């Protein structure tokens, strides 16, 4: 999820279980650990979006790597914090201090990819032994309903120092609420998928892949993406409140040797892997007599422009059919009006249209 949420989650974990012994500095350590996995963006610095998709949420988000990464972070945190004493005034042993800092760092680090796994972007939690992207489609990358309880608990601790037990209760309550919200997201997504499956069967669309994906900022309106054996798509939106029939929009995929070339290129393979195969190919004639193949990741889109994806690629071919250039799908989101989109989300949530 977004950086504010990940930092708040790490700080909230510190407040809930460690601040009474490690002090208020533990909140800073928790917040930093909550952010650390996302520093993998440095691996693709100065490169294009394809490199970012390839490296983001890779080994730095692995459940197999982070337990080991937590140890040096814990040691550094302990050194910066200095030696602590027990309630009786006896200095704690270095081993006991390190173990306490390690528990904090481990939990703050490991919950980052676990939370990311609930989103649709996909997280390589088994890297480097597997590059499979795990995505539960339970929460949007940005969702204030998940973030606000965590942030409120942390801010309460910062502006009301001294009440350790009260701080712990606020933090633990926020963690429970946010976890329940993730569960609600999974439930709403399952219901949306079931409703879509029944309607698609009635409309004689036989999907080989069907996803229900939360739209940005909420888990009420769900983007339904269905793909059949011929690679054609049906996309619609379902409201967990309105529960009206889904208005599916068909998107027919182009079939050509140029599409096959684009998909088999290095950038095309990255997009196919990242999108888990949910790519919509289109072919366009260009002014110079060549052709462009556009591959659109159909998992991401907005209510006002259903086929406007956040990710994709443009593959330019010369007249002789050779691939001249592959570039990210830029400009596809130009002109989007956030206020209009929020208005459309509100209408879709309550009326289903």
Residues 32, 169, single domain; the answer is yes
Give a yes or no: residue 193 inside a domain. Answer: no
Greatest C-alpha distance within the chain: 82
Give a yes or no: residue 238 inside a domain. Answer: yes
- Give me the pLDDT at residue 122, please: 92
Taking the C-alpha atoms of residue 246 and residue 238, their distance in angstroms, rounded to an integer, is 6
List, in order, residues 6 or more apart from 340 with CB less than 8 Å away.
304
Give a yes or no: residue 196 inside a domain. Answer: no
Residues 173, 262, single domain; the answer is no
Residues 122, 262, single domain; the answer is no
- DSSP 8-state class, residue 142: S
- Give me the pLDDT at residue 163, please: 64
Residues 152, 297, single domain; the answer is no
Residues 13, 135, single domain; the answer is yes
Residues 162, 224, single domain; the answer is no
- Give me the pLDDT at residue 168, please: 87
Give a yes or no: residue 339 inside a domain. Answer: yes
Last residue of a domain, one of 185, 217, 244: 185
Cβ neighbour number for residue 67 with a 10 Å cutoff: 14
Residues 155, 215, single domain; the answer is no
Give a yes or no: residue 80 inside a domain. Answer: yes
The rounded average pLDDT for each run of 10 residues, N- to C-terminus, in the chain (353 residues) is: 95 91 89 95 86 92 96 91 59 80 96 97 94 95 95 88 78 96 97 96 94 94 95 95 93 92 94 94 88 93 85 91 88 77 92 86
Give a yes or no: residue 190 inside a domain. Answer: no
Owning domain of residue 99:
3-185
Last residue of a domain, one of 132, 154, 185: 185
Cα first-last separation, the chain = 28
- Give me the pLDDT at residue 164, please: 72
Residues 9, 120, single domain; the answer is yes
Query: Which stretch of DSSP H or E encloses residue 314?
Result: strand 312-317
Residues 154, 109, single domain; the answer is yes
Give a yes or no: residue 195 inside a domain. Answer: no
Taking the C-alpha atoms of residue 255 and residue 230, their distance in angstroms, rounded to an integer, is 9
Give a yes or no: residue 348 inside a domain. Answer: yes
Residues 173, 26, single domain; the answer is yes
Taking the C-alpha atoms of residue 167 and residue 89, their distance in angstroms, rounded to an integer, is 23
Residues 162, 239, single domain; the answer is no
Q: Please state the domain count of the chain.
A: 2
């Amino acid at each position: 999820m977004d950086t504010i949420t990940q930092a708040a989650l790490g700080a909230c974990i510190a407040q809930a279980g460690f601040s009474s012994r490690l002090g208020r500095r533990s909140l800073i350590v928790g917040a930093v650990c909550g952010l650390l996995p996302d520093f993998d963006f440095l691996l693709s610095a100065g490169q294009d979006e394809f490199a970012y998709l390839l490296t983001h949420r890779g080994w730095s988000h692995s459940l197999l790597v982070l337990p080991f990464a937590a140890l040096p972070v814990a040691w550094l945190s302990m050194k910066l914090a200095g030696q602590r004493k027990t309630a009786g005034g006896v200095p704690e042993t270095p081993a006991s201090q390190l173990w306490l800092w390690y528990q904090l760092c481990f939990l703050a680090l490991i919950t980052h990819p676990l939370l990311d796994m609930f989103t649709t972007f996909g997280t390589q939690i088994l890297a480097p032994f597997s590059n499979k992207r795990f995505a539960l489609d339970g929460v949007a990358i940005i969702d204030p309903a998940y973030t606000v309880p965590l942030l409120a608990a942390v801010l309460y601790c910062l502006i009301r120092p001294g009440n350790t037990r009260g701080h712990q209760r606020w933090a633990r309550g926020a963690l429970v609420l946010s976890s329940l919200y993730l569960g609600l997201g999974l439930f709403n997504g399952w219901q949306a998928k079931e409703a879509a499956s029944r309607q698609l069967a009635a409309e004689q669309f036989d999907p080989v892949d069907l996803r229900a994906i939360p739209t940005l900022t909420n888990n009420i309106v769900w983007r339904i993406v269905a793909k059949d054996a011929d690679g054609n798509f049906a996309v619609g939106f379902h409201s967990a409140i309105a529960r009206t029939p889904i208005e599916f929009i068909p998107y027919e995929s182009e079939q050509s040797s140029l599409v096959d070339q684009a998909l088999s290129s290095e950038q095309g393979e990255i997009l196919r892997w990242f999108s888990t195969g949910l790519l919509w190919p289109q072919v366009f004639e260009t002014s110079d007599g060549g052709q462009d193949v556009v591959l659109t990741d159909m998992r991401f889109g907005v209510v006002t422009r259903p086929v406007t994806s956040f990710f994709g690629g443009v593959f330019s071919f010369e007249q002789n059919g050779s691939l001249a250039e592959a570039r990210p799908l830029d400009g596809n989101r130009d002109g989007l009006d956030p206020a209009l989109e929020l208005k459309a989300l509100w209408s879709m949530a309550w009326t289903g249209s």
